[in-house]
Amino acid sequence: MTTIGIIGAGHIGSALATTALDAGHDVVLSNSRGPETLRDLVAGLEGRPTRRGPVRAATAEDAAAAGDLVVVTIPLKNVPDVPVQPLAGKVVIDTNNYYPERDGRIAELDEGRTTSAELLQRHLPESSVVKAFNHIQAAQIVERRSPAGTPSRRALAIAGDDAAAKARVAELIEEIGFDVVDLGPLAESWRIEPGTPGYGVEDDADQLRAHLAEARRGGDAS
């Protein structure tokens, strides 16, 4: 059994909590407003008949410290608020996307000099960041799960610079109900960012690989 720490209890964080609990993992949820604001969400998760693991609310620092795997699923502009020391030596799953209208303009991203995942990795120099879950709608994380071997099973892309960290995240993704396509290092994670062919599309593994290959920097797939 693995403890999944989740920093950010919005749509993606809640969906990942649901699937992790159904798979029998412990979940520690946090948000920026404090554990007391998560009372209703935790109660709803505890009441699910398919839940197999325990869930509790905590601060972001506590979720980071408690998690064997930790999900960061917050607006990109809030990355500087992610606790650093409790995540040292841990695998961190990054679900973030860059939306200038929300996050403000970031020249490095606008000019293609880095990726949003690399910005989180820079903030967490002693952690192993793996990009995942950024190109699927939150509801589909729960609704599109299927057993291994299901024909045309939905596939999700991951990227990371640490092979062992990627393998660990891939194991979790497969366990909760999706195939995995490894698109390479964090520097390649732009291939599944908003505006690319594979973003938001319900692909199986072969279709996703084809869409990743078609991607052009800046979202131009032509």
Per-residue pLDDT of 97-154, as tens digits, reads 999 999 999 999 999 999 999 999 999 999 999 999 999 999 999 999 999 999 999 9
Please say if the pLDDT value at position 221 is more than 50. Answer: no
Q: Are 9 and 30 a contacting pair, CB within 8 Å?
A: yes
From first CA to last CA, the distance across the chain in angstroms is: 45
1 pLDDT band, cuts 50/70/90, is: confident
3-state secondary structure of 29: strand
pLDDT of the residue at 171:
97
Tell me the two tokens of residue 11. 């749509």
Tell me the two tokens of residue 122. 């820079």
95 pLDDT band, cuts 50/70/90, is: very high
pLDDT digits (tens, 9 = 90+) for 2-48: 999 999 999 999 999 999 999 999 999 999 999 999 999 999 999 99
DSSP string, 185-213: SGGGGGGGSTTSTTTT----HHHHHHHHH
CA 125/CA 92 separation, integer angstroms: 11
* Residue 179 main-chain phi, psi, to 5 deg: -75, 165
Summary mean pLDDT of the chain = 96
Distance of CA 153 to the CA centre of its chain: 19
Residues 6 or more apart whose Cβ sits within 8 Å of residue 220 = none
Confidence (pTM): 0.95
Q: Give the side-chain half-sphere CA count within 13 A for 194.
A: 10
Q: What is the mean pLDDT of residues 64-78?
A: 97
3-state secondary structure of 157: strand
Query: What single letter denotes the amino acid at residue 99?
Result: Y
CA 192/CA 212 separation, integer angstroms: 7
3-state secondary structure of 158: strand
CA 124/CA 52 separation, integer angstroms: 31
Nearest one of 8, 93, 6 to 55, comparing CA atoms: 6
Strand-pair category, 69-72 with 91-94: parallel
What residue ranges define each of the domains in the chain, with the CATH number in brackets? Answer: 3-214 (3.40.50.720)
Q: Are 135 and 157 a contacting pair, CB within 8 Å?
A: yes
